């Protein structure tokens, strides 16, 4: 992690032979239900691919072979997104995990194409967002990398709070001095309307 504010976290993702890429998560209204999980790219890829049927109609959420990933029609958007650098990081993919008998399956709510890019470019590991502690812990046990899942609520609570700038203190006016410097001017009686030479 390279940045943590009270509303945004940014991670650096190394990519072999290329500049580092950056991904981010934002604090929201359901932080206690969201978790960040670091996944091992190869384990994640194999698990996702194993859960994709080789027969029947393909689904847009299915995994494809690594060699086919750059052919995804949205792939150029991922290329452009990851090229923006640290100042405009790509949001974490939103991933699901569940048990199917003795196997763990993975799926997506959002972020398939950015995950294709990370797998195709062989990033060793990357963070994803998972809804629910049980799914987050299951994903981490199956394909996790490094530290245990972290709840957004805990993550952002640990962020340093931004200081609100206080207006500069002004010296209290001296009422006696004020009267001596700027005496009160009484309006002239019997004159209405603007004075000559003054704009309205």
**Separation of alpha carbons 107 and 105, rounded Å:** 7
E strands, the chain, in order = 3-4, 8-13, 21-26, 34-40, 90-91, 94-100, 103-110, 125-131, 150-151
How do residues 120-157 score in pLDDT, each as one tens digit?
Answer: 999 999 999 999 999 999 999 999 999 999 999 999 99
Q: Write out pLDDT tens, residues 88-100.
A: 999 999 999 999 9
**Can you say whether the dihedral through the CA atoms of 112, 117, 119, 125 is positive or negative?**
negative
Please list the residues that pair with 36 across neighbouring strands. 129, 150
pTM of the model: 0.79
Model confidence at 16: pLDDT above 90: yes
What per-residue confidence (pLDDT) applies to 160?
85
**Residue predicted with more confidence, 164 or 28:** 28
Strands 150-151 and 34-40 turn out to be antiparallel
* Chain position carrying tokens 């405009």: 88
| pLDDT at 42 (0 to 100) | 98
Mean pLDDT estimate for the chain: 86
Measured from the Cβ of residue 148, the count of other Cβ atoms closer than 10 Å reads 12
Task: Say yes or no to pLDDT of 62 above 70.
Answer: yes
Q: Cα angle vertex 49, ends 78, 83, to 5°?
A: 15
pLDDT band at 59 (very low <50, low <70, confident <90, very high): confident
Collect all residues with Cβ–Cβ distance below 8 Å to 28 and sequence separation of at least 6: 34, 152
């Amino acid at each position: 992690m390279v940045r943590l504010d009270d509303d945004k976290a940014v991670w650096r993702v190394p990519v072999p032979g290329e500049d580092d890429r950056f991904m981010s998560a934002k604090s929201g209204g359901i932080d206690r239900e969201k978790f960040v999980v670091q996944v091992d790219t190869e384990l994640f890829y194999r698990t996702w691919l194993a859960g994709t049927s080789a027969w029947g109609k393909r689904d847009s959420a299915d995994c494809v072979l690594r060699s086919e990933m750059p052919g995804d029609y949205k792939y150029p958007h991922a290329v452009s997104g990851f090229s923006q650098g640290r100042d405009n990081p790509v949001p974490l993919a939103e991933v699901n995990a569940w048990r199917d008998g003795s196997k763990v399956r993975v799926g997506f709510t959002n972020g398939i194409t950015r995950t294709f890019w990370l797998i195709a470019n062989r990033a060793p590991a990357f963070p994803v967002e998972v809804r629910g502690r049980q799914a987050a812990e299951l994903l981490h046990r199956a394909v996790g990398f490094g530290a245990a899942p972290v709840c957004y609520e805990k993550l952002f609570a640990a962020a340093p709070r931004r200081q609100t700038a206080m207006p500069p203190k002004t010296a209290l006016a001296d009422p006696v001095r004020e009267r001596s410097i700027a005496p009160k001017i009484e309006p002239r009686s019997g004159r209405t309307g603007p004075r000559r030479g003054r704009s309205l």
